[in-house]
């Protein structure tokens, strides 16, 4: 028996069971967590995430910030040193409002979180590689779009979630990358997110080696709607691991 919900979603396909959007990037052994969904702890358990060295918040909306308290375990593993948290002015303000007890260089008590809030620069140079940031429109907000380049391999990945369009600057940064991840909320137009047709067009213009669409609603059935995607493009799913 195949179970379907009222809009035809195949619930027997585990790729259609979606938690809120987060991502984890590893460059030369250094672990970057992008956003912390409300299900962040469960995502870490299910995907065996055992290390976070840097945290990047794309923006302060609830579905991206409300799992941050569960970063406390990774701060324990750092010996209690505050976790560097990069974000926009809006995003960092939201962190201060939600987690005032965590804005410190060391946890108040063992097992508590501690965040060192830092504005995300346009270019962040680290021994493991380089991260470029750009601002993307998302309703009244501007969110961080990120491009990672690993130093040892030169491989590059762009992560553009929660955006209505890929701006000219973001388009330039993403040209001919190895992997690009794009917001693709639903088939129909939306005021603050790219629709699937808009994401497809952005993917075509970028021309990455591989493109993955993320942040989909229940309106997307993985098997059915994947048949309409171009070569080298795919819908992401919970637990997806991509080696660049």
Cα end-to-end distance, the chain, whole Å: 37
pLDDT for 7: 64
Pair 13, 206: CB distance under 8 Å: no
């960092």: which residue's tokens?
92
What whole-number distance in Å separates Cα of residue 67 and Cα of residue 207?
A: 33
> 121-236 domain in CATH 3.60.15.10?
yes
Give pLDDT < 70 ranges for the chain: 1-7
CA neighbor of 59 nearest in space, from 39, 88, 97: 88
pLDDT for 8: 74
pLDDT in tens, 9-23: 899 999 999 999 999
Residues 136-168 as b/e (b if ≥16 CB within 10 A, e otherwise) read bbbeebbbbbbbbbbeeeebbbbbbbbbbbbbe
Please report the DSSP string for 187-198 in residue order: SS--SSS--HHH
Whether the domain at 14-120 and the domain at 121-236 fall into the same CATH topology: yes
pLDDT for 176: 86
**CATH of segment(s) 14-120:** 3.60.15.10
For the chain, the structural domain boundaries read 14-120, 121-236
């Amino acid at each position: 028996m195949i179970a379907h919900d009222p809009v035809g979603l195949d619930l027997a396909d585990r790729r259609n069971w979606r938690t809120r959007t987060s991502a984890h990037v590893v460059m030369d052994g250094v672990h970057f967590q992008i956003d912390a969904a409300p299900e962040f702890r469960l995502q870490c358990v299910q995907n065996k995430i055992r290390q976070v060295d840097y945290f990047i918040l794309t923006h302060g909306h609830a579905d991206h910030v409300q799992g941050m308290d569960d970063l406390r375990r990774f701060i324990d593993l750092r010996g209690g040193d505050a976790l560097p948290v990069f974000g926009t002015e809006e995003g960092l303000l939201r962190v201060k409002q939600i987690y005032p007890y965590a804005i410190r260089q060391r946890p108040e008590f063992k097992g508590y979180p501690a965040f060192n809030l830092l504005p995300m620069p346009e270019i962040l140079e680290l021994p493991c590689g380089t991260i470029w940031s750009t601002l993307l429109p998302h309703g009244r907000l501007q969110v961080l779009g990120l491009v990672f380049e690993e130093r040892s391999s030169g491989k590059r990945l762009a992560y553009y979630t929660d955006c209505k369009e890929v701006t000219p600057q973001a388009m330039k940064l993403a040209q001919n990358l190895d992997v690009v991840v794009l917001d693709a909320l639903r088939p129909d137009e939306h005021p603050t997110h790219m629709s699937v047709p808009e994401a497809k067009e952005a993917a075509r213009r970028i021309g990455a080696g591989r493109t993955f669409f993320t942040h989909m609603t229940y309106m997307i059935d993985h098997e059915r709607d994947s048949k309409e995607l171009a070569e080298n493009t795919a819908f992401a799913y919970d637990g997806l691991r991509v080696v660049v």
